[in-house]
Amino acid sequence: MVLQKRLDYGFHGYQVPTMPRATRSVRKRSLCRKGTEGGQMRAFDLLATVADKLLHGTDGPTTTTTDTSTEKDRYAVMNKELDANSLLKVEPSDRGSCDQGFVSELVLSGHEKKCDLNGCLPQHDEDSPPQLVSVVTNFDKSKEMGNLASEVHVGSPRSKESDNCELDGKSKVIVKYELHKTEEVLTGTQDQYDSCKREDPVIWDQKAHVLGNSNGCGKMTQDKQIIQNSSFATQNNVKLVDRDDDEISSGCTHPVSSIKSFRTVPSSRDRRIKKVSASKSWKVVPRCRDESLSKTDGIWKSMFRSKSSHDSCRRQKSQMNIPFKKRKFFDCSSSVSNSDGGINSEGLSDSTGKVFNSDISGRSCSASGNGHHKSFPSKDSHVKIRIKSFRVPELFIEISETATVGSLKRTVMEAVTAVLGGGIRVGVLLQGKKVRDDNKTLFQTGISHDNQLDSLGFALEPNPSRTPLALCQEDSPCILPCDAPEPLTRYSPDASADHPGSSSVLPEPHGDSLGHFIQSDHDSAPSPTNTSNHKSTTDSKALVNVPAMTVEALTVVPMHRKSKRSEVAQRRIRRPFSVAEVEALVQAVEKLGTGRWRDVKLRAFDNAKHRTYVDLKDKWKTLVHTARISPQQRRGEPVPQELLDRVLSAHAYWSKQQAKYQLKRQPETTTPMNKKTQQSWG
DNA sequence: GTTAGGG
DNA sequence: CCCTAAC
Compute the average pLDDT of residues A455-460.
71
Instruction: State whether the beta carbon of A575 lies below 7 angstroms from any atom of strand C.
Output: yes
What's the pLDDT band for A622 if we cut at 50, 70, 90? very high
What's the pLDDT band for A450 if we cut at 50, 70, 90? low
Say how far A651 CA is from B4 C1', in Å. Answer: 15
List chain C nucleotides near protein: any atom < 7 Å from a Cβ. Answer: 1-4
- Output the pLDDT for position A559: 38
Whether the per-residue pLDDT at A405 is higher than 60: the answer is yes
Distance between CA atoms of A224 and A219, rounded to whole angstroms?
8
Compute the average pLDDT of residues A47-57.
46
Say how far A614 CA is from C5 C1', in Å. Answer: 15
Cβ-count burial A160-177 (b if 16+ within 10 Å, e if not): eebbeeebeebebbbbbb
- Output the pLDDT for position A396: 67
What's the pLDDT band for A614 if we cut at 50, 70, 90? very high
Distance between CA atoms of A184 and A304, rounded to whole angstroms?
32
What's the pLDDT band for A647 if we cut at 50, 70, 90? very high
| Start-to-end CA span in chain A (Å) | 51
List chain B nucleotides near protein: any atom < 7 Å from a Cβ. Answer: 1-7
CA distances from A105 to A169, A217, A221, A433 (A): 28, 18, 15, 41
Q: How many CB atoms lie within 10 A of CB A34?
A: 18
Say how far A183 CA is from C1 C1', in Å. Answer: 45
Select from A339, A365, A355 the least CA-distant residue to A388: A355
Q: Which residue is nearest to nucleotide B4 (CA to C1')?
A: A595
- Output the pLDDT for position A570: 78
Whether the per-residue pLDDT at A618 is higher than 90: the answer is yes
Whether the per-residue pLDDT at A673 is higher than 80: the answer is no
What's the pLDDT band for A451 if we cut at 50, 70, 90? low
Say how far A519 CA is from C6 C1', in Å. Answer: 34
Say how far A614 CA is from C4 C1', in Å. Answer: 13
Say how far A545 CA is from B1 C1', in Å. Answer: 29
Whether the per-residue pLDDT at A506 is higher than 90: the answer is no
Best mean pLDDT range from A44-58, A450-464, A564-578: A564-578
- Output the pLDDT for position A616: 94
Q: What is the length of chain A?
A: 682
CA distances from A283 to A11, A279, A383, A396, A593 (A): 22, 11, 51, 21, 47
3-class secondary-structure state, position A358: coil
- Output the pLDDT for position A437: 73
Whether the per-residue pLDDT at A633 is higher than 80: the answer is yes
Positions 619-638 of A with beta carbon below 7 A from strand C are 619, 621-622
Whether the per-residue pLDDT at A638 is higher than 80: the answer is yes
Say how far A596 CA is from C7 C1', in Å. Answer: 14
Q: How many CB atoms lie within 10 A of CB A123?
A: 18
Say how far A99 CA is from C3 C1', in Å. Answer: 45
Say how far A620 CA is from C3 C1', in Å. Answer: 18
- Output the pLDDT for position A458: 74
3-class secondary-structure state, position A179: coil
- What domains are defined for chain A? 405-448+455-461 (no CATH), 579-661 (1.10.246.220)
| Proportion of chain A above pLDDT 90, given as a percent | 6
Whether the per-residue pLDDT at A204 is higher than 70: the answer is no
Q: Which residue is nearest to nucleotide C3 (CA to C1')?
A: A614
- Output the pLDDT for position A605: 92
Whether the per-residue pLDDT at A143 is higher than 60: the answer is no
Compute the average pLDDT of residues A492-504.
33
What's the pLDDT band for A461 if we cut at 50, 70, 90? low
pLDDT digits (tens, 9 = 90+) for A302-324: 333 333 333 333 333 333 333 33
Quote the mean pLDDT of chain A: 46
CB A262 within 8 A of CB A146: no
Whether the per-residue pLDDT at A568 is higher than 50: the answer is yes
Distance between CA atoms of A511 and A530, rounded to whole angstroms?
17
CA distances from A80 to A45, A158, A234, A390, A392 (A): 24, 23, 23, 10, 11
Compute the average pLDDT of residues A435-442.
73
What's the pLDDT band for A414 if we cut at 50, 70, 90? low
Compute the average pLDDT of residues A178-205.
32
pTM of this prediction? 0.30
Closest nucleotide to A593: CA versus each C1': B3
Whether the per-residue pLDDT at A615 is higher than 90: the answer is yes
Strand runs labelled E in A271-401: 356-357, 390-391, 394-400
Whether the per-residue pLDDT at A634 is higher than 70: the answer is yes
3-class secondary-structure state, position A473: coil
- In this structure, what are the phi and psi dihedrals at residue A528, rounded to the nearest 5 degrees? -75, -25
| Proportion of chain A above pLDDT 70, given as a percent | 19
What's the pLDDT band for A602 if we cut at 50, 70, 90? very high
Question: Could you tell me which residues come within 8 angstroms of residue A447 by beta carbon, excluding any fewer than 6 positions away?
Answer: A37, A43, A46, A360, A383, A428, A430, A435, A453, A456
Instruction: State whether the beta carbon of A597 lies below 7 angstroms from any atom of strand B.
Output: yes
Whether the per-residue pLDDT at A597 is higher than 90: the answer is yes
Distance between CA atoms of A33 and A250, rounded to whole angstroms?
21
Closest nucleotide to A600: CA versus each C1': B2
pLDDT digits (tens, 9 = 90+) for A240-264: 222 333 223 333 333 333 333 333 3
- Output the pLDDT for position A441: 73
Residue with the larger pLDDT of the pair A643 and A117: A643
Whether the per-residue pLDDT at A603 is higher than 70: the answer is yes
What's the pLDDT band for A77 if we cut at 50, 70, 90? very low
Residue with the larger pLDDT of the pair A103 and A652: A652
Q: Which residue is nearest to nucleotide B1 (CA to C1')?
A: A598
Whether the per-residue pLDDT at A565 is higher than 80: the answer is no
- Output the pLDDT for position A446: 72
Instruction: State whether the beta carbon of A615 lies below 7 angstroms from any atom of strand C.
Output: yes
Closest nucleotide to A599: CA versus each C1': B2
